[in-house]
Amino acid sequence: MAKEKKIETEKIEEMPVVQPDIKFTPDQLSAINSMISAAVRSSAQTGNDPISVYGQRDPKSIERVNVKRMFGKFVVGFKNVQNDPMRKDPKYISYEFDPIRKLDHQPYITLFLSEDGKNIEEKKVLHTDYYCDREKFEAKVLDIKINKEIKDNGILGSRGSYAPEIDDKGNVITRTKVKAEYVEQKRIFFVELPGFDKPVEFIEDFLA
């Protein structure tokens, strides 16, 4: 029986492809970037109609807000329980004894509830119950009013001890004092609610 001849094949190694070191001048790079940008803009166009920069939706505008509901009515506000005449900031949380859970120092909040904007009901509930049991109703914002108030925090650089600056004659240089002020903005939302004859005013606290 004849023996089969074993044919050996030589393994040919692939030669690596050497990439040429191509360098562009700044002018050539600028021209290439311009062509790429033009190609991207051309591919993004879907028609020949001109595009107006006006009349577009402002991404910062608020068109709808979540108004809270509880006990079958809308929560149109919270009662201010701030009793410190020296403080102007509102206070909506009071800490009282909970007779049901037999726990002291529990947070309570008093809600202003209404279903028509005419009859307002006050309802004191536990703050935790309000957050757990409330419902959200997405309402349309008709208008937003912004009230700006300048807050004064004294003089810039008034805190701490600093060495005075002296001129070449040895006299103290008096610098202009700058107030440490900032502008605080408070927004009022005019919201459309079903069953209400006119828009309801909400401050940001009431929509939290």
Average pLDDT score over the chain: 80
Q: Is the sign of the CA dihedral 23, 25, 30, 35 positive or negative?
A: negative
Could you list the residue range(s) of the whole structural domain that residue 165 is in?
A: 65-207
Asked if residue 105 has pLDDT above 90, the reply is: yes
Domain for residue 53, yes or no?
Answer: no
- DSSP character at residue 76: E
Q: Give the model's confidence band at 153: pLDDT under 50 very low, under 70 low, under 90 confident, else very high.
A: confident
What is the H or E stretch that residue 132 is in? helix 127-133
Looking at per-residue pLDDT, the higher value among 103 and 42 belongs to: 103
For tokens 């600028």, what's the residue?
30
Output the pLDDT for position 113: 97
Residue 126: band (very low, low, confident or very high) from pLDDT cuts 50, 70, 90 = very high
Domain presence at residue 84: yes
N residues, the chain: 208
Does residue 28 lie within any of the structural domains?
A: no
- Note whether residue 56 is domain-resident: no
Q: Residues 56-84: what's their mean pLDDT?
A: 87
Domain count, the chain: 1
Confidence band, pLDDT 50/70/90 cuts, at residue 60: low
Is 127 exposed, middle or buried, given 0-12, 13-18 or 19+ CB atoms closer than 10 A?
middle
On whether residue 39 sits in a domain, the answer given is: no
- Assess if residue 2 is contained within a domain: no
Residue 25 lies in a domain: no
CA-nearest of 152, 161, 159 to 179 is 152
DSSP codes joined into one string, 25-46: -HHHHHHHHHHHHHHHHHHH--
Mean pLDDT of the region 15-27: 61
Q: Does a structural domain hold residue 181? A: yes
